[in-house]
Amino acid sequence: MDREEQLIDQVIRRFPFKRNGLRVGIGDDAAVLRPSADTEWVVTTDAFLETVHFLRKIHPAEVVGSKALARATSDIAAMGARPRYFFLTLGLPEACTGAWLDEFLRGMARAAKRFGLTLAGGDTTKYSQIVISLTVMGEIDRGKSILRSGAKPGDLLFVSGRLGEAELGWRLMQRKLHKQARWGGLLKKHLRPEPRLALGQWLAAHQCATSMIDTSDGLSTDLGHICKASGVGARVWAKKIPAVRVPAELRHRNLDPLQLALHGGEDYELLFTVSKRFAGRMPHKVAGIPVTQIAEITHEKKVVLVGTDGHNNPLLPGGWDPFRGSR
């Protein structure tokens, strides 16, 4: 076996093979998949790169593996689909082919099991830095995908979970404050985000969401995407936003909960709109995850924040943009 084959072997050994509708899986030139009757494929691809998205020295390999797959799978959740297969392309420095790769795969395999994903192929190559590219395929009943483009004036906007938690964790990690045991727990969302699969599928099954997106870049940026795609605006109430809880001892460190919630990225929560008629019947929790109404959709194509003081201000996109490099 040559070195590349050995590495491929090291990868696929970690993932139990399940036929699961797969006609041809790993080992041939390409995979052959068979969709179930009356369903559509929902396909997404996501790059997770050393130095841009994670740091080899700070982020444990097992965390890199599970987070890479969680990020990619969040896009499947944001369409309302069920995860089925994934493809893993890896570029690795020689130094990362041993223990690092094992730990990385352990984290990814655990996440794959939790999300119901079967590894169906990929590519393995050597590179000077760690490059991870994931393609995830989901399945959904024909025509049920929830797009960014369906929000209508008068709809109400909901968000799952809490916003700003991942950003708080990352800021603490950058300042090395997470090494203090009492704040270690605040890193959970940054290290181990969970795609909101059950909520996404619930919304698709009930056909009650008019639009949806996952919050990867921050509320201000991601809500902007829904508004642009739908040709509408929004009025957000600051006091309704379920913002991260910042411990009092950390408040003075330029860690304002509202700012973190408005512009912090990587929470991977779901942001979705619901018609007014349905909004009253929205449960407060779906699959154990709280959902909170935070805004209404407006005709005027602007996103406005109603502050805690009652004043209106434009809410401009201030989230994560790799080409602006705000992080």
For position 136 contacting ligand ADP by CB under 6 A, the verdict is no
Q: Which is nearer to Mg ion, 5 or 94 (CB)?
A: 5
Q: Which helix (H) or strand (E) holds 259?
A: helix 257-263
236 binds, among Mg ion, ligand ADP, none (CB under 5 to 8 A by kind): none
How many secondary structure helices (H) and strands (E) does the chain include?
10, 14
b/e map 46-84, b = 16+ CB within 10 Å: bebebeebbebeebebbbbbbbbbbbbbbbbbbbbbbbb
Give 137 or 234: the residue with its C-beta nearer to ligand ADP: 137
Comparing every residue's Cβ against ligand ADP, the nearest one is 122
Amino acid at 225: H
**Residues 247-269: b if buried by 16+ CB within 10 A, e if exposed:** eeebeeeebebbebbbbbbbbbb
Q: Is 9 in the site for ligand ADP (CB under 6 A)?
A: no
Minimum gap (Å) between residue 23 Cβ and ligand ADP = 13
CA within 13 Å, CB half, 137? 20
132 makes contact with ligand ADP (CB under 6 A):
no
Q: Per CB under 6 A, which region of 22-30, 192-200, 216-224, 285-293 contacts ligand ADP?
A: 22-30
* Nearer CB in complex with ligand ADP: 11/172: 11
Site residues (CB under 5 A) for Mg ion?
123
Closest contact distance (angstroms) between CB of 94 and ligand ADP is 16
Contact between 159 and ligand ADP by CB under 6 A: the answer reads: no
Nearer to ligand ADP, 117 or 270 (CB): 117
Give 43 or 279: the residue with its C-beta nearer to ligand ADP. Answer: 43
> 191: number of CA atoms within 13 Å, CB side?
17
3-state secondary structure of 244: coil
Assess 121 for contact with ligand ADP (CB under 6 A): yes
CB count within 10 Å of CB 24 equals: 14
Q: How far is the CB of 324 from Mg ion (least distance, A)?
A: 34
- Shortest distance in whole angstroms from residue 75 CB to ligand ADP: 19
Among the listed residues 11, 61, 274, 305, the single contact to ligand ADP using CB under 6 A = 11
Q: Which is nearer to Mg ion, 123 or 300 (CB)?
A: 123
Contact flag: residue 124 with ligand ADP (CB under 6 A): yes
Of 78 and 108, CB closest to ligand ADP: 108
Q: How many residues does the chain have?
A: 327
Helix axes 61-77, 99-115, angle to 10 degrees: 30
Residue 232 region by backbone torsions, left for phi larger than 0, else alpha for psi between -120 and 50, else beta: beta
Nearest CA among 214, 215, 167 for reference residue 190: 167
Q: Give the shortest CB-101-to-ligand ADP separation in angstroms.
A: 10
For the CB of residue 12, give the shortest distance to ligand ADP in the complex, in Å. 6
The two structure tokens encoding residue 279: 């909004």
Interacting residues with ligand ADP (CB under 6 A): 8, 11-12, 26-29, 88, 90, 119, 121-124
